[in-house]
């Protein structure tokens, strides 16, 4: 596929990344309780009873024309998605897997923020689709 003078194969490259991020931003603000039925129809799990960050990432990948990783509902499964990218090379729409006190979380890279932080856009972030600030030090992997 050609985009802006560059050629990409499959769902790799800047086009897929921007399409993934755009998919999340289009539904930003939807809350897991107030919009439970709509979110469940989109991601395939009940967001009020199931951790759904992985399902939200899978939704974004599908919306961009890609294929989610096997076991996509589990955040740690995203460690096997696509190709590993150095943290410093992260670009908008890359899949970011974070290590948290509770386990793993997956989000899409939205951009760099101040003081060792970045913006991640995804689902199950304060019980909704939204862009949130995270510590760069919590990044386990960046995948493209």
Domain of 126 in residue numbering reads as 11-143
Q: Would 1 be classed as within a structural domain? A: no
Which pLDDT belongs to residue 43?
Answer: 98
What is the CATH number for 97?
3.90.1720.10
SS3 59: helix
C-alpha to C-alpha distance for 90 and 41, rounded to whole angstroms: 30
Longest dimension (CA), the chain: 45
Q: Name the burial class of residue 50, with classes exposed (0-12), middle (13-18) and buried (19+) by CB atoms within 10 angstroms of its CB.
A: middle
Is residue 100 assigned to a domain?
Answer: yes
Please check whether residue 5 lies inside any domain of the structure: no
87 lies in some domain: yes
Residue 102, in any domain of the structure: yes
4 in a domain, yes or no? no
Q: Answer yes or no: is 3 within a domain.
A: no
Cβ neighbours around 85 below 10 Å, total: 17
Q: Is residue 6 part of a domain?
A: no
**H helical segments located in the chain:** 14-26, 36-43, 53-63
What is the pLDDT at residue 12? 54
DSSP characters over 66-105: --PPTTTTSGGGGGGSS-EE-GGG--TT-EEEEEETTEEE
Number of domains in the chain: 1
pLDDT in tens, 21-69: 999 999 999 999 999 999 999 999 999 999 999 999 999 999 999 999 9
pLDDT score of 1 more than 60: no
Res 8: pLDDT: 37
Does the predicted TM-score (pTM) go above 0.95?
Answer: no
Percentage of residues of the chain with pLDDT beyond 70: 91
């Amino acid at each position: 596929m050609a985009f802006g003078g560059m050629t990409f194969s499959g769902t790799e490259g800047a086009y897929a990344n921007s399409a993934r991020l755009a998919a999340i931003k289009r539904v930003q603000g939807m809350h897991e309780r107030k919009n439970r039925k709509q979110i469940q129809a989109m991601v395939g799990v009940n967001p009020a009873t199931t951790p759904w960050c992985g399902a939200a990432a899978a939704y974004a990948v599908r919306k961009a024309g890609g294929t989610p990783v096997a076991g996509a509902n589990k955040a740690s499964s995203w460690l096997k998605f696509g190709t590993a990218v150095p943290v410093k090379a992260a670009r908008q729409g890359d899949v970011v897997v974070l290590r948290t006190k509770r386990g793993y979380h997956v989000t899409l890279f939205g951009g760099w923020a101040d003081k060792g932080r970045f913006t991640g856009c995804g689902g199950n972030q304060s019980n909704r689709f939204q862009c949130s600030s995270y510590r760069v030090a919590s990044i386990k992997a960046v995948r493209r």
